[in-house]
Structure 1
């Protein structure tokens, strides 16, 4: 919630300060650029870096950053450039979440419950994507922008003791070096076609769909929405995503990689409708459609890397996923920011949505065997075939 509300508040702030739409996109770039460090952190984890200490220290370090930003905004001394280091710091927290915290959750839950634990984590993230913007919009309307940034510090202050208490029983992490093959993380792509396709679809989704998120305040302004309704617009897709993700925790998908691709298609279709409509009601329906896609996408994103590689390569796979997002999402935000300056936000979103659908269609056609029925699944080395049961963690031939 802290991260997604922080992204919403940062983009809202630069909009209020009168910045151009490309400034909103730059806020997103600052937030997601630290994802580029994913493979580096994964390498450290494989060498025995304590995941619990890393996550705890990251959250503690973000506390003074949050307090300082709340004071700057509340006093009226804030300037546009100050938003970027703030979002960069929060982006480091997001990168740690995608790598170290997911590995920590798997240690807490145990190997036998790996997929269920990851699905529960995805449901938590869906809740945050829904509640974060909504909380930001409502708190701005009720208390003002400065107090809204103060809420972030309160959330962080509450998360630190919860994390410490829930993980204090864990022993030191195992040294993965002895168990891992002496090959670079990127060489996993040569051994697992399923992981390669997963990352390719991830690139398309982050490059062409999620890049629009910093433009939510601009979209809301175009639709004539106030602060609270801006929060609703920013949280609508997350609300639907939460419902879908909760359902998929109870009933896992049989063909997760196919669902992953279908989810991206729904996201891009929703973005195209959002870009084309001048009506708030239609925009909310489009975001609901995108939310269904986000639910399919996010619920399988965490489990597909685990299912595509052997257990000792799991941290490396998470690192590759994080780095892929770190490359694609900031790039997409820059491209969308530039095209918004040239064409306007609506036309730019429509162009990127259509381009994403074309790229996704080509990917599906070229990998239709891998995305086909379970019987035609392509096995991966030492891991569950991702074309089969999405909730199984046992190796298949």
Structure 2
């Protein structure tokens, strides 16, 4: 699973695809329209993909997901243009939705079969840490590869990584018991009771019912969505780093420091679980102090905060998996993912409004407030 996570995020195009678009004549407005299409695709396919993951083999979806990403990057590399860029974002958005919720549900279900569900936060957290480190290393390698072979070399390398991920996915275990289709149960004729395979509507109803009827599930979804809103601000980290007075050439090092904190939080996700509210409160304070200082030294506090936020995100996801029945696990995870998409978009909107009167340091400092609210309301 660590190899899968590493290959999924080993994409050299990540820090460069916006430049690829402008290199082929796209205006800032056109680039923004592509990002909007990407977000819309992910939002519309999030819940349907979760329902699908509760009906078919989750391993199969984890194989298909990187194949769609590879197809997207191949389109961008071999036939660059607005139309293919748009088609690529649709493919990438669908692929991401197939993975979202499915990945967590698959890992938890397989661990449960082995009687090791308690290991979930450690394994999922470390898998996320491996993915973060992989993305960081690829970001560092992207510049030299671009200089040596241009966007063609970067694109082809980005196609190769998800193809390897798809092959690795084939080696993942797939022992989760799935109900037999109704016609197979009827044809067995052995007098034993069978469980008929639920339809998509039934699975969706079960997922929604889990949210409505179980307060712990709702609390977990709120935590997932709330933390996603703050974590989505990582898109603005380069602005915060530049606002500290660092030279432009030093911004990547500051960004690397914060990514290292993020990875550490994922790697240590199974530690400190006795007092999650206190840990999260500490992260909120670190974010406020580090951001409001508006100094390079304050980036250490921001790095600590993002590590805590990643740690808390794993804790919230663990709660969600623990409180959800396997028959609708991926569906509920995807509903939480949809809520996270909404809160992330709200964060972007609030940033746009706030940037009219405050700089990145103040806005990031203010982001500590929802973190502290989540810390106060956190329940194990």
Task: Give TM-score, length-normalised by structure 2.
Answer: 0.73
Q: In the TM superposition, what is the alpha-carbon distance from 1:140 to its structure 2 partner? A: 1.5
Superposed counterparts of 1:331-350, under 5 Å: 331-337=346-352, 339-340=354-355, 342-343=356-357, 347=359, 350=362
Query: Which residue among 295, 301, 307 is the counterpart of 1:292?
Result: 307
Tell me if 1:351 matches 2:363: yes
Is residue 290–residue 298 contact of structure 2 (8 Å, CA) maintained in 1?
no
Task: Give TM-score, length-normalised by structure 1.
Answer: 0.70
Deviations 1:113-160 (A, max 9, x none): 224145312211222223314422432145336133333212112112
Match of 1:100?
Answer: 102
Unaligned runs of 5+ in 1: 372-386, 388-397
Distance 1:210 1:136 in 2: 19
Match of 1:378?
Answer: none
Unaligned runs of 5+ in 2: 1-5, 181-196
* 1:183 to 1:20, Cα distance in 2 relative to 1, 3 A: closer
Is residue 287–residue 301 contact of structure 2 (8 Å, CA) maintained in 1?
no
Is residue 3–residue 90 contact of structure 1 (8 Å, CA) maintained in 2?
no
* 1:131 to 1:44, Cα distance in 2 relative to 1, 3 A: closer
Distance 1:132 1:316 in 2: 28
Match of 1:225?
Answer: 248
Tell me if 1:54 matches 2:61: yes
User: Does the residue aligned with 1:109 lie in a helix, a strand or coil?
Assistant: helix
Is residue 73–residue 158 contact of structure 2 (8 Å, CA) maintained in 1?
yes
Distance 1:219 1:362 in 2: 23
Match of 1:380?
Answer: none
Is residue 115–residue 303 contact of structure 1 (8 Å, CA) maintained in 2?
no
Query: Which residue among 184, 193, 204 is the counterpart of 2:226?
Result: 204
* 1:230 to 1:30, Cα distance in 2 relative to 1, 3 A: farther
Distance 2:238 2:22 in 1: 7
* 1:270 to 1:163, Cα distance in 2 relative to 1, 3 A: farther
Deviations 1:334-380 (A, max 9, x none): 4434654x45xx725633651x4334444555x4xx63xxxxxxxxx
Greater shift in the superposed pair: 327-336 or 316-325: 327-336
Greater shift in the superposed pair: 7-16 or 289-298: 7-16
Distance 2:30 2:354 in 1: 9
Is residue 266–residue 311 contact of structure 2 (8 Å, CA) maintained in 1?
yes
* 1:67 to 1:53, Cα distance in 2 relative to 1, 3 A: same
Tell me if 1:41 matches 2:64: no
* 1:182 to 1:351, Cα distance in 2 relative to 1, 3 A: closer
* 1:194 to 1:166, Cα distance in 2 relative to 1, 3 A: closer
Q: In the TM superposition, what is the alpha-carbon distance from 1:59 to its structure 2 partner? A: 1.8
Superposed counterparts of 1:160-309, under 5 Å: 160-167=166-173, 170=175, 173-174=178-179, 177=198, 183-207=205-229, 209-218=230-239, 223-226=246-249, 230-249=251-270, 251=271, 253-256=273-276, 258=277, 261-262=280-281, 265=284, 268-269=287-288, 272-273=291-292, 277=294, 279=295, 281-282=296-297, 284-309=299-324
Deviations 1:65-84 (A, max 9, x none): 21232346xxxx666x8656
| Higher alpha-carbon Rg | 2
Q: In the TM superposition, what is the alpha-carbon distance from 1:303 to its structure 2 partner? A: 0.6
Superposed counterparts of 1:359-374, under 5 Å: 359-362=370-373, 364-365=375-376, 367=377, 371=379
Aligned residues: 348
Q: In the TM superposition, what is the alpha-carbon distance from 1:260 to its structure 2 partner? A: 7.5
Q: In the TM superposition, what is the alpha-carbon distance from 1:305 to its structure 2 partner? A: 0.1
Q: In the TM superposition, what is the alpha-carbon distance from 1:54 to its structure 2 partner? A: 1.9
Q: In the TM superposition, what is the alpha-carbon distance from 1:99 to its structure 2 partner? A: 1.5
Distance 1:335 1:15 in 2: 27
Q: In the TM superposition, what is the alpha-carbon distance from 1:18 to its structure 2 partner? A: 9.7
Deviations 1:176-205 (A, max 9, x none): 739x88845333333332332332233333
User: Does the residue aligned with 2:247 lie in a helix, a strand or coil?
Assistant: coil
Distance 2:279 2:142 in 1: 34
* 1:54 to 1:245, Cα distance in 2 relative to 1, 3 A: closer
